[in-house]
């Protein structure tokens, strides 16, 4: 099946390279009976992708069974998954089928797999590997023919290293994994997504809809969508309700997104000055940090190109653009001209500096890799490589 058909059937919207790659994987893996692990932050579309895989598989004539492993209490999860026999509990008056039995010949979607208790993980591994399971209280193994899809927003490898997730199960699930990029890594899809969500919502609620102004969409692209597509969808629906079907302007969007859009602004524009004193204090703090960070980055760049002295020609970043901020506050005096403390000389490598600049920049941009790469003056690919090279993945996730 081609990608366009998959998109039409599943309702998955997006033209960005990131989502197109995901859909290509969906097209490849759907017809093959293998387990798939879908990973990604909350709201990135793990469930909609799982549904698309099932829909395009040869099991699609049966309905997929979704199990939220994080929502079932530990005490009953095994009975839910594998069923139980009469008498297994005091109130177990008869045999009860579990999800694995009900999903025979179909697909089971184990959502939030990272939340599964360790003892249950052993049994999951068994059923995945051999199709066999024993109902709670039973003694005879039963057989089932189930395809497994699993999803998590947790760092499963991290859980494995902490002893909270079984390594064997992790390897078994992770043979094919589909990582879903955060919405901020596929900003160009925002307009399509907004249009889709707005139309669906206004049609099903019989509401007038006059569209979003292009600037409104632009404002939305500057926001850091921590809740990803789910957050965008909720936002679109609530702004349409609040504005009573009016055409949505960037002012409306900015007002709704509030100060957060300033804080996480990804373009060069500095936060807008308002009259609130606490805002200006916070803004000044942000500006200072931004300034220092820039200086660090410039310093690194200079170090990397030996023809120039690192200290000379430091750019005057932000100063002239920071209207409303006293530029004297940002003046570097003679004493603080050097970024590297004297005590560090002789005990520091370019790699140390680079690593620190990367960590601090990522932190500043709330782990938004595109914005960080841009600010550091490197390509996103290089930033990804360096994150791997310096083993920063874990550090970033824990921040
Ligand atoms: N590419 C997309 N096109 C259209 N709708 C999408 C897309 N991705 C996600 N959605 C919608 O966004 C919402 C969140 O998606 P979904 O529930 O699949 O995310 P999730 O990764 O499972 O989130 P969580 O980790 O919080 O469970 C759903 O309403 C889904 O239909
Ligand atoms: Mg989900």
Distance CA 362, CA 372 (A): 6
Bridge partner residues of 150 (DSSP): 37, 110
User: Which three-class secondary structure state does DSSP give residue 242?
Assistant: helix
* DSSP summary character for residue 139: -
- Whether 78 contacts 136, CB under 8 Å: yes
Question: Pocket of ligand 1, candidates 71, 149, 196, 229: which has the most ligand atoms within 8 Å of its Cβ, to mutate?
Answer: 229
Closest ligand 1 atom to Cα of 13:
3
| Residue 336: per-residue pLDDT | 46
Bridge partner residues of 248 (DSSP): 212
Bridge partner residues of 36 (DSSP): 149
The answer, yes or no, to whether any atom of ligand 1 lies below 6 A from the CB of 179, is no
| Residue 283: per-residue pLDDT | 55
| Residue 311: per-residue pLDDT | 42
User: Which three-class secondary structure state does DSSP give residue 36?
Assistant: strand
Question: Pocket of ligand 1, candidates 6, 45, 226: which has the most ligand atoms within 8 Å of its Cβ, to mutate?
Answer: 45
| Residue 106: per-residue pLDDT | 97
Closest ligand 1 atom to Cα of 233:
12
Q: What is the DSSP string of 281-310?
A: HHHHHHHHHHHHHHHHHHHHHHHHSTTS-S
- Whole-number Å distance, alpha carbon 45 to ligand 2 midpoint, is 7
The answer, yes or no, to whether any atom of ligand 1 lies below 6 A from the CB of 200, is no
Q: Is 194 exposed, middle or buried (0-12, 13-18, 19+ CB in 10 A)?
A: buried
Domains belonging to the chain, first-starting first, are: 3-181 (3.40.50.300), 184-263 (1.10.8.60), 277-398 (no CATH)
- Whole-number Å distance, alpha carbon 195 to ligand 2 midpoint, is 22
Closest ligand 1 atom to Cα of 189:
1
| Residue 296: per-residue pLDDT | 65
Per-residue pLDDT of the chain in tens (399 residues, 90 and over written 9):
799 999 999 999 999 999 999 999 999 999 999 999 999 999 999 999 999 999 999 999 999 999 999 899 888 999 999 999 988 777 777 888 999 999 999 999 999 999 999 999 999 999 999 999 999 999 999 999 999 999 999 999 999 999 999 999 999 999 899 999 999 999 999 999 999 999 999 999 999 899 999 999 999 999 999 999 999 999 999 999 999 888 999 999 999 888 444 444 444 444 433 334 445 445 555 555 565 566 667 667 766 765 544 444 444 433 333 333 343 444 444 444 556 666 777 777 888 888 888 988 888 887 888 888 888 888 888 888 888 888 887 766 554
Distance CA 4, CA 12 (A): 10
| Residue 295: per-residue pLDDT | 61
The predicted model scores a pTM of: 0.68
Closest CA to 182 of 235, 113, 150, 230: 230
| Residue 273: per-residue pLDDT | 37
- Whether 44 contacts 96, CB under 8 Å: no
The answer, yes or no, to whether any atom of ligand 1 lies below 6 A from the CB of 233, is yes
Closest ligand 1 atom to Cα of 14:
1
Q: Is 130 exposed, middle or buried (0-12, 13-18, 19+ CB in 10 A)?
A: exposed
The answer, yes or no, to whether any atom of ligand 1 lies below 6 A from the CB of 229, is yes
| Residue 321: per-residue pLDDT | 35
Look up residue 126 and give its two tokens. Answer: 């068994």
- Whole-number Å distance, alpha carbon 47 to ligand 1 midpoint, is 6
- Whether 103 contacts 110, CB under 8 Å: no
């Amino acid at each position: 099946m081609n990608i366009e058909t998959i998109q039409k059937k599943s309702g998955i919207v997006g033209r960005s390279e990131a989502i197109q790659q995901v859909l290509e994987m969906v097209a490849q893996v759907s017809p093959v009976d293998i387990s798939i692990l879908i990973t990604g932050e909350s709201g990135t579309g793990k469930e909609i992708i799982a549904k698309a895989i099932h829909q395009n598989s040869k099991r699609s004539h049966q309905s997929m069974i979704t199990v939220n492993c994080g929502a079932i209490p530990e005490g009953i999860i095994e009975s839910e998954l594998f069923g139980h026999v009469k008498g297994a509990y005091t109130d177990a008056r008869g045999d009860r089928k579990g999800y694995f039995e009900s999903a025979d010949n179909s697909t089971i979607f184990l959502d939030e797999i990272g939340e599964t208790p360790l003892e249950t993980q052993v049994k999951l591994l068994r059923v995945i590997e051999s199709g066999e399971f024993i109902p709670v209280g039973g003694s005879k193994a039963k057989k089932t023919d189930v395809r497994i899809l699993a999803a998590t927003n947790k760092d499963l490898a991290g859980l494995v290293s902490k002893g909270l997730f079984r390594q064997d199960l992790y390897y078994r699930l992770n043979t094919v994994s589909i990582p879903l990029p955060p919405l901020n890594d596929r900003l160009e899809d925002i307009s399509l997504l907004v249009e889709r969500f707005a139309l669906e919502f206004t049609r099903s609620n019989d509401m007038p809809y006059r569209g979003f102004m292009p600037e409104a969409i632009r404002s939305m692209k500057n926001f850091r969508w921590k809740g990803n597509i789910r957050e965008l969808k909720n936002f679109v629906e609530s702004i349409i309700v609040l504005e009573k079907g009016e055409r949505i302007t960037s002012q409306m969007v900015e007002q709704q997104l509030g100060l957060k859009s300033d804080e996480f602004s990804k373009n060069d524009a500095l936060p807008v000055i308002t009259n609130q004193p606490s805002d200006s204090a916070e803004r000044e703090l942000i500006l200072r940090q931004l300034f220092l960070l820039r200086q660090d980055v410039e310093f690194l760049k200079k170090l990397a190109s030996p023809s120039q002295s690192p200290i000379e020609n430091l750019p005057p970043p932000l100063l002239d653009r920071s209207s409303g901020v006293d530029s004297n506050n940002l003046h570097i005096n003679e004493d603080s001209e050097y970024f590297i403390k004297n005590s560090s000389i002789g005990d520091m490598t370019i790699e140390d500096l680079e690593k620190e600049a990367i960590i601090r920049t990522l932190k500043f941009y709330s782990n938004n890799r595109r914005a960080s790469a841009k600010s550091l003056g490197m390509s996103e690919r290089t930033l990804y490589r360096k994150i791997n090279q310096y083993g920063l993945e874990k550090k970033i996730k824990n921040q």
